Chain A
Amino acid sequence: MSLQLENVSLTVNGQPHIHPSHLNLAAGSMNVLLGPTLSGKTSLMRLMAGLDMPSTGKILWRGDDVTGVKVQKRDIAMVYQQFINYPSMTVFENIASPLRLRKKPESEIITAVKKTADLLKLGAFLQKKPLELSGGQQQRCALARALVKQSGLVLLDEPLANLDYKLREELRTEIPKMFADSGAVFVYATTEPEEALLLGGNTVTLWQGAITQFDTSTRVYHRPKNLVTANVFSSPPMNFLDAEKEGLLISLGENSYNPLDPGHIKLTAGVYRVGFRPNHLMLEPKNSESLRFSTILKSTEITGSETFLHLQHQQQHWVSLLHGIHHLTPGVSIDVFVDPAHLYFFDAMGQTAALATYTQSLKSV
């Protein structure tokens, strides 16, 4: 293990910012911190970097206790949401700056800068000042500076948030490739679930300063341990409704059914919160077991490849994500269907009581 957090917490003026957390991040791994604004992503990163001192707990780097060791003395590179470059230096000098600080020989600097610049498609701009470049190029320059440093720990705090959608898409596929060979530990903070899945690697979901789950991204997505994780890791947000189990019978909204699924049969009697993802809420029943819900269509959004239906089911706001184009008039009541295999059951404490059974057939998780 490369970076270990043991029981690390942060309390500021009596307010818990980070609840006691454990985390082991391996060398050469991409780790995404996923959570909404103020969920503690940046606080956790600052603790990892040594910019803040944890209130409790230890931080170990390659087995050595580095708690309290200053950030200057540690081997860290950081990239922020804002494009931070030295405005008076050329792109070349910007990229070279970490090497100059280490007093590397000039020839080595030139080779390293050229190589990194080419990798990040900055080769043509080396003699320009950062402010003459576009946003995407400025952020590439900041990334290049982080990359050339060859640090053991690279922290990326929403690096693509200020970029255009398409540029984001490009850099998102490039970033993991760029850093892949360096063997460093990567930590990447984002608010977007899809970004976590696209980057691959592992995901740490955060909610109100607490780590709710840590595993490979696809596992966290398909096998959330609790309701909070499932909701954080779902875009559009997950759809929810209340359920009750009496004997074998499960009543779910206007439906009552005898589950066929062993996982659902095993559930103890009681009250549950049931969640399912928008792409599993369909206009046609998938099979004979599918449950039918009658809803009111509030609005539709068509992206060309997909259609989003915003639905009102009793007091709940649901979203259905359909493939293709569906022209429907808002205001009408329509029936929608969910296959019970796509239902997640959460208990009163918000813990997962039964995973959706479709996940058992997934090879990758």
Chain B
Amino acid sequence: MKKTVNQKAWFMVLPVLLLVAFSAVIPLMTVVNYSVQDTFGNNEFFWVGLEWFEEIIQSERMHDALIRQILFSSIILIIEIPLGIFIALHMPKKNSLWTSLCLVLIALPLLIPWNVVGTIWQIFSRIDIGLLGYSLDAIGVDYNYTQNAVDAWITIIIMDVWHWTSLVVLLCYAGLQSIPDAYYQAAKIDQASRWNTFRYIELPKMKGVLLIAILLRFMDSFMIYTEPFVVTGGGPGNATTFLSIDLVKMAIGQFDLGPAAAFSLIYFLVILLISWVFYTAMIHTDEENQS
């Protein structure tokens, strides 16, 4: 609907624009700048065109990290989304003290800083002093996340599930709360099974928040850095070296600024691309439903 025309409102956005320019646009352009140049120190740069991009795209190291990353994000989504929905469905529906308690408990992991989460799990899983690692060893499970790649992966995935499933639960819970009681009553009267109630009432009504949950969890897990860095440092070997960890190694460890810049731009584009595919796919199915 056409509103009263008043262009003055644009001035209100000006501070934000300036802030974004300093915090995002200028750094991004610096990265672009690095990605097309080489340096041998002394602040002297040479134009190398797309050489770094070619190198990165062809490098096996990048391929491995990308595959690891995609595998990680897929596992995370496959576990966290259904688990989040499942927990949300079993939350108490009526508002009571019990509901508030559940919500607080669920939200708790979200309030802990990333590096603390990492540290907690790092200690928790140690086989000498950690409760989890020690107990597992005591009952005869051959578990050691510092040496066994599979153990390292399991540890990091469980940690992420523990940390972030709450977000999915909270979003789904909000979606479920918005369903009027009449729908559940109608389903009971129609003798819909539990599964049908979920399939035809709860899932369609949760769709909007689920889309947000999937996008958020995908982007976050695709950029995961702090927790695996603290727990495994990318190891054993390169087993948990995800894209961001690899990037930091390249940029700060080896100080290869050019390739690292090219790497980060490709990284950025991959995230953008996958998010866009997710988004349009889900919006598309939504529109199909409407027509």
A associates with B: yes
What are the interface flags for A14-55 relative to B under an 8 Å C-beta threshold, 1 for contact and 0 otherwise? 000000000000000000000000000000001000111101
Across the interface, which residues of A come within 8 angstroms of B5, CB to CB?
Answer: 53, 68
Does residue A95 face the partner (Cβ distance < 8 Å to B)? no
The residue on B at minimum CB distance from A69 is B4
Q: Which of chain B's residues has its CB closest to A55's CB?
A: B2
**Cβ–Cβ < 8 Å partners of A50 in chain B:** 4
Complex: A12 Cα to B5 Cα, angstroms: 15
Q: Is the CB of A12 within 8 A of B1?
A: yes
Chain B residues within 8 Å of A10, by CB = 1-2
B2 and A68 contact, CB distance less than 8 A: no
* Whole-angstrom CA separation of A46 from B4 in the bound complex: 11
Query: Is A68 within 8 A of B4, CB to CB?
Result: yes
- Does B90 interact with chain A (Cβ within 8 Å)? no
A55 to B2, CA, bound (A): 8
C-alpha gap A345/B18 in the complex (Å): 69
A286 within 8 A of partner (CB): no
Does A70 touch B at the CB level, under 8 Å? Answer: yes
Report the interface size class on chain B: under 10
- Per the bound structure, the CA–CA distance linking A55 and B1 in Å amounts to 10
Whether, in the assembled complex, B94 has its beta carbon less than 8 Å from a beta carbon of chain A, the answer is no
Q: Check if B3 is an interface residue, CB within 8 A of chain A.
A: yes
Most chain A CB within 10 A, of B1, B3, B5, B6, is at B1
Residues of B within 8 A of A12 (CB): 1-2
Instruction: Tell me whether chain B's interface is mostly helix, strand or loop, or mixed.
Output: loop
* Separation of A256 and B6 alpha carbons in the complex (Å): 64
Cβ contacts under 8 Å, A68 to chain B: 4-5
Report the minimum CB–CB distance from A281 to chain B (whole Å): 39
Among residues of B, the one whose C-beta sits closest to the C-beta of A67 is B4
Residues in A with CB closer than 8 Å to B3 are 51-53
Task: Compute how far the CA of A52 lies from the CA of B3 in the bound complex, rounded to whole angstroms.
Answer: 5
Closest A residue to B2 by CB, please name it.
Answer: A53
Report chain B residues within 8 Å CB of A55.
Answer: 2
Q: Which residues from 1 to 50 on chain B have a C-beta closer than 8 Å to any C-beta of chain A?
A: 1-6
How distant is the Cα of A10 from the Cα of B1 in the complex, in angstroms?
Answer: 9
Q: Once bound together, how far apart are the Cα atoms of A52 and B6, in whole Å? A: 12
Q: Give the most central of B4, B5, B6: most A CB within 10 Å.
A: B4
Chain B nearest CB: distance from A173 CB in Å? 34
> Which interface residue of A46, A53, A71 has the most chain B CB atoms within 10 A?
A53
Would you give the shortest CB distance from B250 to chain A, in whole angstroms?
49
Residues of A within 8 A of B2 (CB): 10, 12, 52-53, 55
Residue in B closest to A71 when the chains form the complex, CB atoms: B4
* Nearest CB of chain A from residue B5's CB, rounded to whole Å: 6
Q: Which A residues, 48 to 82, have Cβ-Cβ distances below 8 Å to chain B? A: 50-53, 55, 68, 70-71
Q: In the assembled complex, which residues on chain B have CB atoms less than 8 Å from the CB atom of A53?
A: 2-5
Residues of chain A with a CB closer than 8 A to B4's CB: 50, 52-53, 68, 70-71
In the A-B complex, the 9 residue pairs with the smallest Cβ-Cβ separation, listed nearest first, are: A53-B2, A53-B4, A70-B4, A52-B1, A12-B1, A68-B4, A52-B2, A53-B5, A53-B3
21 contacts between A and B (CB under 8 A): A10-B1, A10-B2, A12-B1, A12-B2, A46-B1, A50-B4, A51-B3, A52-B1, A52-B2, A52-B3, A52-B4, A53-B2, A53-B3, A53-B4, A53-B5, A55-B2, A68-B4, A68-B5, A70-B4, A70-B6, A71-B4
Apart from the given pairs A52-B4, A71-B4, 17 other A-B contacts in the complex at a CB distance below 8 Å: A10-B1, A12-B1, A12-B2, A46-B1, A50-B4, A51-B3, A52-B1, A52-B2, A52-B3, A53-B3, A53-B4, A53-B5, A55-B2, A68-B4, A68-B5, A70-B4, A70-B6
